[in-house]
Amino acid sequence: MTTWPWSRHRSASRPSSSDPASVLREHPVLLLAGPPADVMVNRLLRMWNPCAELGGPKGNRGIAEGVRWFGPYRLDTVGAAEAGLPLGWSTAYAAQTVRSRLRVPDGLAAAEMRERFPHGMPVGTEAVAWSLVTGLARRLGGAARLPVDARSRRVAARGAKNVVTQRPEVRQNTYCVYGNKALPWAILRSLLALSLPELDLNGALAVDDYCLDRTGSFEVRVEPFRDGDFLPYALRPGAAPGWPCTVYRFRCLPEATNADAARIDVQLRGAAYELADIVGGALLDGEGFPVITEFARQRS
């Protein structure tokens, strides 16, 4: 574990892009409490991207296109203050990338998205970096910090909401099955009937582009995987021309209560695993990590 000697990094000159305070202040950050977890972090990084550069110099490793991984850094009170991080966390990592934000568009989930991203939704490589740190925080019991830009800091100073550090919520989890040609909606509903009863069609753009849901609880959205869509790094070693061609997304709806969300999450994870087994697909969560469930352990 690299200790962060703050006093040695302080300088009257402008901080460089490799300065710890600058890196942690300007890029998506993973925050962890308790003893060092570098072995587990590296294991999860390898699951997220089997081709990640984890053998390079500590503190500056290529983890994805346009994303470099910095850390671990041990935090103390002075270090956290200089990096603009909340107190109570012992270790920090950063996913260095180019900042790119988009105003949350209007739509059914706009209110939920604006709550999560009060200063703009990350896109491009920053979205990839944010998914990575959020997924790690979910698995390691930590938190993810998304920095705000100068304009957003000025808005926050005038009283706007300034939520930048988040513990991932169960309701925000998604399970994705990547597979071949989409099943017709009636067949999919029949296959999922035991694990997800009361599903019904809630809109269809095409035979391979439709949504099944239980109102106010959860949805299963089926979409074609198109040229130019982002392919999770975990799938890239096994991807081939023409595969994947369909994505089934299982998601808890924001209207569900916290107690219901926890129960629904278990149902969705089990249903997604069963579907992946039936169609010979690959099961990942919405942050790009392969999903290993109790169902899989029992069958192995």
Q: How far is the C-alpha of 165 from the C-alpha of 142, rounded, in Å?
A: 10
In terms of Cβ atoms closer than 10 Å to its own Cβ (0-12, 13-18, 19+), residue 152 is: middle
**pLDDT number for residue 12:** 33
**Cβ-based neighbours of 238, under 8 Å, separated by 6 or more:** 282
List, in order, residues 6 or more apart from 41 with CB less than 8 Å away.
30, 72, 93, 136, 140
Q: CATH 3.30.310 occupies which residues in the chain?
A: 170-299
CA 95 to the chain's CA centroid:
13
* Cα gap 166→198, rounded to integer Å: 33
Strands across the sheet with 61-64, in order?
A: 61-64, 67-74, 91-96, 29-32, 143-145, 165-166
CA–CA dist 30, 44 (Å, integer): 13
CB 276 within 8 A of CB 179: yes
At 45, the amino acid letter reads: L
pLDDT for position 151 = 53
Token output for 45: 């990084």
- Alpha helices per DSSP H over the chain: 6-9, 20-26, 38-48, 77-82, 110-116, 124-140, 150-157, 185-191, 258-279, 294-299
CA dist 165 and 167 (Å) reads 7
Distance of CA 157 to the CA centre of its chain: 28
What pLDDT is attached to residue 32? 96
Tokens 């753009």 belong to 205
Tell me if 258 sits within 8 A of 264, measured CB to CB.
no
In tens digits, the chain (300 residues) has pLDDT values of 444 444 334 433 333 456 889 999 999 999 999 887 889 999 999 999 999 987 655 566 889 999 999 999 999 999 899 999 999 999 999 999 999 888 877 765 667 767 777 778 889 999 999 999 999 999 999 999 998 865 544 444 333 344 457 888 887 889 999 999 999 999 999 999 999 999 999 999 999 999 999 998 999 999 999 999 999 999 999 888 889 999 999 999 888 888 889 999 999 999 999 999 999 999 999 999 999 754 444 444
Architecture of domain 170-299: 2-Layer Sandwich (3.30)
Q: What share of the chain is helix, strand, coil (3-state, %, to 5)?
A: 35, 25, 40
Cβ(25)–Cβ(210) below 8 Å: no
User: Alpha-carbon distance 203 to 197, whole Å?
Assistant: 18
CA–CA gap between residue 199 and residue 36 (Å, rounded): 44
Pairing assessment for the beta strands 29-32 and 91-96 based on DSSP bridges: antiparallel
- Tell me which DSSP letter residue 121 carries: E
The model carries a pTM of: 0.85
Q: What is the model's pLDDT at position 113?
A: 67
pLDDT at 55: 67
Per-residue model confidence (pLDDT) at position 58: 58
pLDDT at 276: 96
CB 208 within 8 A of CB 246: yes
